[in-house]
Structure 1
Amino acid sequence: MENEKKPCKHSLTVKTSHVLPPDTNAHGTLFGGKLMAYIDDVSAIAASRHARKTVVTASTDSVDFLTPVHEGDTICLEAFVTYTHKTSMEVFVKAVTENLLTGERNICATAFLTMVAIDENSKPAPVPQVYPETEEEQWLHQGAEKRADYRKGRKKDSKDMAEKFGTDLPWFRA
């Protein structure tokens, strides 16, 4: 499987949901955590589609909420694998909100997630390589190694912080 190559479009996953009252906050807009759950879900589907294996989320880059998603709108997420390493895959997700009455559409968020394929023993498993075809896919693919290096540094910082604060409760001292 390591020598197998698949185009980015092979993993394309699209998911659309109607934003209902239980999904919204006191302002009548979609909970940020709900949007993040949608992003994680569609990313996992795209990564599994590419690897044809079970996957787990290794990291989520920052998610910036660009425009609000209102109750009654739809939220459409598109995800595909942009880059692969040995067992990991970078997945790009674009979220678009649409007002069904006016037809107005806006990108409400974009994100990159790193997903890792696992085998039946829950150990990292090799994934096929991915190759870009469109101009947009090539642009995302070309920046992937730089983003991966940034993630490695961020993970180290997170580990350092976890070690500094430890597991004792409360972590703050008066």
Structure 2
Amino acid sequence: MTYLSGIHGSLPIAQVLYGQSSPSGHLPFTYPCYEYQARDTIWQSQSAEYAPQWPFGFGLGYSQMVYSNLTVDLAELHPSKPITVHMTMCNAGIFDQHEPIMLYTTQSFCTGYKLELFHLHKFDKVKIKAGTVTSISFTLAVKELGYFNHHLIRVLGPLPVNITINALTPYEHTVTVNLAV
């Protein structure tokens, strides 16, 4: 998908097709599997059927990326101390790759609301040379997990939170932390 590549778009497209560079673009939207899902692809609740053809953030490159060792430095997320999420990535292919890393959260319950299936909180795009390993870190604070109730007051429930890296992709990894509020 090249959108409107213009008069200078043919050279980069040819370079990708002939293997001179590895594609690194990822979808900025969700492409639904069925026509009736098209109206619901901006936001999906946990209770909705969600099986898109290609989810937000989907993309392919010529190098195989291996994600491992998803860890958090604290088992509980405290209001006064954020946690750091660590992950290791290895470029097991022969091409250098620009790879997006997206951190999502999922909470199991919010009073009066249907929760999102995955809520994107952080993202980064890193260049990883072929055959190398790199470490990625994100910091997540309690205030980022709050939501506004019916009275427009920011609240947070003391429930577990799933932290997922690259949700709905073959590279998805999840770890669970508890909220201490």
* Structure with greater proportional helix content: 1
TM-score, scaled to structure 1:
0.28
* Structure with greater proportional strand content: 2
